[in-house]
Amino acid sequence: MTTTSTWPLVRVVRDRDAGLFLAGAVVSRFGSSAMWLACGVWVKGLTGSDGLAALCLLALWLPTLAGPALGTLADRGRRRPLLIALNLASALLLLALLAVGSADRLWLLFAVLVGYGALGVVHDAAESALVAAAVAPRLLGDFNGLRMTVTEGMKLVAPLTGAGLYAAYGGRAVALLDAATFVLAAGLCAAVRVREAPPEPPAGHWWERTAEGARHLWRHPGLRPLVLAGGVTMLCAGIGGATLYPVVDSLGRPPAYAGVLYAVQGAGSVAGGLLAGPALRHLGDRWFAAAGIGLFGAAVAVRAVPVEPVVLASSAAVGIGLPAVLIAALTAVQRETPAVLRGRAAAASDTLVFGPNVLGLAVGAALVGVAGLWLLLPALGAVLLTTALVLAQRPARPARTAAKSMS
């Protein structure tokens, strides 16, 4: 079977371990997406506060800032048993939400969300490292693209499920659903067949071991530009995200119309994820990422035009373009990092790429009231297009050659 004659989904599913990892991603992302929406609704229902409801997302994202430190845990032992333990620990942690029945127990809900986020950081780092060991290199790009497709696809389905379950049975029912998905994900992970070498005894100071992942990213000529471009892209994505409701207002639509734009963007991301594997093989990491960032930048700039078809097309283009640099960076980190460092490098990469998104949300909230859409969105588009041009200037030929060799 050649890699160019079969759809990426078929090729990934036919690989036993890749298929199991993808099934685990489907299950866990479904539960997490349902829980993400339900927590905000739960807090809103208990307190009536929009501000406290918004803090749910911050609580989930906060541990990402400690990614390099948490990532060291993914390199201390065998990753498969660690992933099984992390899934089961997440399930147990969610059961603590059964005790949340009134506003005076709200502290417990936020504590669970922070712990949930921290376990997720370690899980993602260990999973990234184990995938690189268990999945054939020629399938990494396809797998990461499909995992992005799964993540975005679940955002279209799971929140509605979570909202419906919450409306019918309350937040505890959603917590039980999410816990069940983690137990199922643990079982799927246990079925993965991968031989892991015994971990090397830790050497050096804890801080030195923590910094090794970030140091590897910075020193690697192929990884550094991808991670930096990813951070800039996500900073702009955060700022642009704050303009969503002003864009909806410019169309004369009610706030609920934002859900339509989210759905169109999600559909674009699903399509982009399916195309990511073949595009990576043909373009290489940096040109694929640059093309995606360029499309994202152009889409952000034209979103300032208050014409509904233009805004809808922009949302679809954002969905296709934005994930490209994320998929390219993740695949490159998995491929170009020694096995002993993969957990720390993946966690450091996530912090450097996704951390700026939190800052961007705050900056965007401040700027949107000062700068109009006609100034802010084209400016963001210009920054993104410049980032794409810089990234494409000197493509990393070794990385491109390695990517093409997977075909």
Confidence of residue 57 (pLDDT cuts 50, 70, 90): confident
Residue 286 tokens, joined: 């940096």
pLDDT in tens, 11-32: 777 778 888 888 888 888 888 8
Token couple for 44: 């809103």
Q: What is the largest CA-CA distance in the chain?
A: 62
Apex CA 330: angle with CA 326 and CA 336, to 5°? 140
Do 301 and 374 meet the contact criterion of CB atoms below 8 Å apart? no
* Whether residue 405 has pLDDT greater than 50: no
SS3 133: helix
Q: Are the C-beta atoms of residues 277 and 404 closer than 8 Å to each other?
A: no
Token output for 387: 């980032």
User: Comparing C-alpha atoms, which of 267, 321, 318 is closest to residue 292?
Assistant: 321
Q: Taking residues 190-216, report their average pLDDT.
A: 74
| Residue 90 token pair | 């997440």
- Is the separation of the CB atoms in 4 and 13 below 8 Å? no
> Percentage of the chain surpassing pLDDT 70?
89
Q: What does the pLDDT read at residue 5? A: 44
Q: Are 302 and 246 in contact (CB under 8 A)?
A: no
Any idea which of 144-158, 227-241, 283-297, 352-366 has the lowest mean pLDDT? 144-158
Using only C-alpha atoms, the chain has a radius of gyration, in whole angstroms, of: 21
Q: Residue 214 carries which DSSP code?
A: H
CB 106 within 8 A of CB 161: no
pLDDT at 199: 64
Which stretch of 121-130, 217-226, 299-308 has the lowest confidence by average pLDDT? 121-130
Nearest by Cα to 308 from 374, 250, 376: 250
Exposed, middle or buried: residue 44 (CB in 10 Å: 0-12, 13-18, 19+)?
middle
Sign of the torsion angle spanned by Cα atoms 294, 300, 305, 307: positive
CB 238 within 8 A of CB 358: yes
C-beta separation of 144 from 21 below 8 A: no
CA quadruple 88, 94, 96, 102: dihedral, nearest 10: 180
SS3 content of the chain, % helix, strand, coil (to 5): 85, 0, 15
72 pLDDT more than 70: yes
In this predicted structure, what is the pLDDT of residue 3? 42
Helix (H) or strand (E) holding 199: none
What 352-355 contacts at long range (C-beta under 8 Å, 24+ apart), as own/partner pairs, is 352/214, 352/217, 352/227, 352/228, 352/230, 352/231, 353/227, 353/230, 353/231, 353/234, 353/326, 353/329, 354/61, 354/64, 354/234, 355/64, 355/65, 355/67, 355/231
pLDDT reported for residue 2: 41
* Three-class DSSP labels, 371-405: CCHHHHHHHHHHHHHHHHHHHHHCCCHHHHHHHHC
Residue 401 amino acid letter: T
Give the span between the Cα atoms of 77 and 80, in whole angstroms: 9
Query: Cβ distance 324 to 288 under 8 Å?
Result: yes
Tens digits of per-residue pLDDT, 110-147?
999 999 999 999 998 888 888 888 787 777 888 888 88
Contact (CB, 8 A) for 365 and 242:
yes
Q: Please give the pLDDT value at position 217.
A: 92
